[in-house]
Amino acid sequence: MEVRAVRGVSLEIQRGEFVALMGASGSGKSTLMNILGCLDRPSAGRYVLDRSDVSKLDRDQLADIRNGKIGFVFQGFNLLPRTSARENVELPLLYGGHHLTSAQLREKADAVLASVGLQGREDHHPSQLSGGQQQRVAIARALINDPEVLLADEPTGNLDSRTSVEIMGVFQELNERGITIIMVTHEPDIASYSRRSVVMRDGLVQSDRVVTQRLDAKIEAQKLMHVDEPAQT
């Protein structure tokens, strides 16, 4: 028997959007995320990414799409241990036939690491970095191939609230630079950093609305600093 985790979802996401995908566990948001991330194919229906239908592609073709058009950010960072930040970021360039020299790889990786605020940390291994820094490395890895969309699956799930705000700051900054972001989260306050919030329930879209009371990570970060100050004295 076929279980339809997602049924009758019709969702259109424009370039440059910042969408939060919410829903309780079992609502179908993970399945939707896997399809959006080209990790899975829909058993029925169509998924059009960047004007081309990717719902009938085979394993290797999907891998190429993931390599070129999608950047993943995971809850558990998923960095390779015993591997430097730079090498982690270079990883997607090793696949998909880019044929770059090691100097070119290094240059690209260092530039992306700098854009997420990690200059000087290029040679650090994940174990030498804080959770927030590790997630920044993961974001840099997701951005290295200039993807059409950045897919973040509970990106703040393993981070404390302060670091979560920091990562949201990175996302907002990237979004302002025109990068499309789809973020799965179950925390409403994290979702309120996005521009559009989609709530799933029982495999259907329950609500799809623009975030009205949008939080700005810069301001929130400052608020947290003020909260901290009395505690320090």
Q: Does 45 bind other proteins (CB under 8 A)?
A: no
Phi/psi for 205 (5° steps) reads -80, 120
Q: Residue 32: which of 211, 146, 210, 199 has the closest Cα?
A: 199
67 binds other proteins (CB under 8 A): yes
Residues 6+ apart with CB under 8 A from 67: 92, 95, 96, 145
Direct distance between the N- and C-terminal alpha carbons of the chain, in angstroms, rounded to an integer: 63
141 contributes a contact to other proteins by CB under 8 A:
yes
Cβ 65 to other proteins, closest distance in Å?
A: 8
- What is the bridge-based pairing of β-strands 204-210 and 196-201? antiparallel
What is the 3 state secondary structure string of 134-199? HHHHHHHHHHCCCCCEEEEECCCCCCCHHHHHHHHHHHHHHHHCCCEEEEECCCHHHHCCCCEEEE
Choose the binding region for other proteins from 58-66, 112-120, 161-169, 182-190 (rule: CB under 8 A). Answer: 58-66
Stretch that binds other proteins, among 60-68, 127-135, 175-183, 210-218 (CB under 8 A): 60-68
Stretch touching other proteins by CB under 8 A, among 5-13, 36-44, 115-123, 217-225? 36-44
Among 42, 96, 131, 157, binds other proteins (CB under 8 A): 96
Window 143-172: contact mask with other proteins (x via CB under 8 A): --x---------------------------
Under rule CB under 8 A, residue 57 binds other proteins: no
80 lines the binding site for other proteins (CB under 8 A): yes
92 binds other proteins (CB under 8 A): yes
Q: Which is nearer to other proteins, 89 or 174 (CB)?
A: 89
CA dihedral 206, 210, 213, 219 (to 10 degrees): 120
Binding flag, residue 59, other proteins (CB under 8 A): yes
Identified binder of other proteins from the candidate list 40, 173, 189, 208, rule CB under 8 A: 40
- How many CB atoms are closer than 10 A to CB 59? 8
Token pair in block for residue 53: 């239908």
Nearer to other proteins, 96 or 221 (CB): 96
Q: What distance in Å separates the CA atoms of residue 45 and residue 226, rounded to the nearest whole number?
A: 50
Binding site for other proteins (CB under 8 A): 34, 37, 39-40, 59-60, 63-64, 66-68, 72, 74, 76, 78-80, 91-92, 95-96, 141, 145
